[in-house]
Amino acid sequence: MKKHGEVLTASKEVDSMLDLLKSEFSQPDKIFLEPSCGDGNFLTAILTRKLKKAQDEETFFAALNSIYGIDLLKDNVIKARKRLAEIWRKQYKTVLKKEPEKCILNKTEEILTKNIIQGNFLELSDYRNLNIDVIIGNPPYQIVDGGGTGDSAKRNKNSL
């Protein structure tokens, strides 16, 4: 925690935050970004909500392709990708009543490799050209005044 500022957000808080954004899940291709995704608590909850409306392969891919995450730690990125892939595969099988073929699983892996990456969000420019609809995560992200202990964190503690 101290070295990387890693704070995992519990499901209860994730769900509470996402409940405030219910209208954002009306379209499966709305783009979500989690700039400090950890092992994917927000990402998996977002994908689960998006897949509730998926009824065909195109919508399944639209939902997956619209989720982006960044984390400093490689092991978190790997775990987040695995969790997302498993949720996607299970829901695909349940809704479409068939196991995804190898080529479909390869496509999901390509999407997750492209969209869930290791890095420092504050230093990346790749995401500036995306039309991001929602940025969500475990605030505060700032490092300028103590990363959660400074004045900006105190001002924002009641924002949710």
**Residue 5's pLDDT is what?**
59
Residue type for position 32: F
> Does domain 11-156 sit in CATH 3.30.70?
no
Which pLDDT band, with edges at 50, 70 and 90, does 157 fall under?
very low
**pLDDT tier for residue 126 given thresholds of 50, 70 and 90:** confident
Pairing relationship of beta strands 67-71 and 116-118 according to DSSP bridges = parallel
Share of the chain above pLDDT 90, in %: 68
pLDDT digits (tens, 9 = 90+) for 129-155: 788 999 998 765 555 555 555 554 454
CA 92 to CA 77: how far, in whole Å?
22
Is it the case that residue 12 has pLDDT exceeding 60? yes
What pLDDT does residue 155 have?
47
pTM of the model: 0.84
Q: What confidence score (pLDDT) does residue 130 get?
A: 81
pLDDT at residue 156 is higher than 90: no
- In which residue are the tokens 């492209």 written? 114
Per-domain boundaries in the chain:
11-156
CB 92 within 8 A of CB 100: yes
What distance in Å separates the CA atoms of residue 71 and residue 4, rounded to the nearest whole number?
10
The pair of structure tokens assigned to 28 is: 């499966």
Cα 114 from chain centroid (whole Å):
13
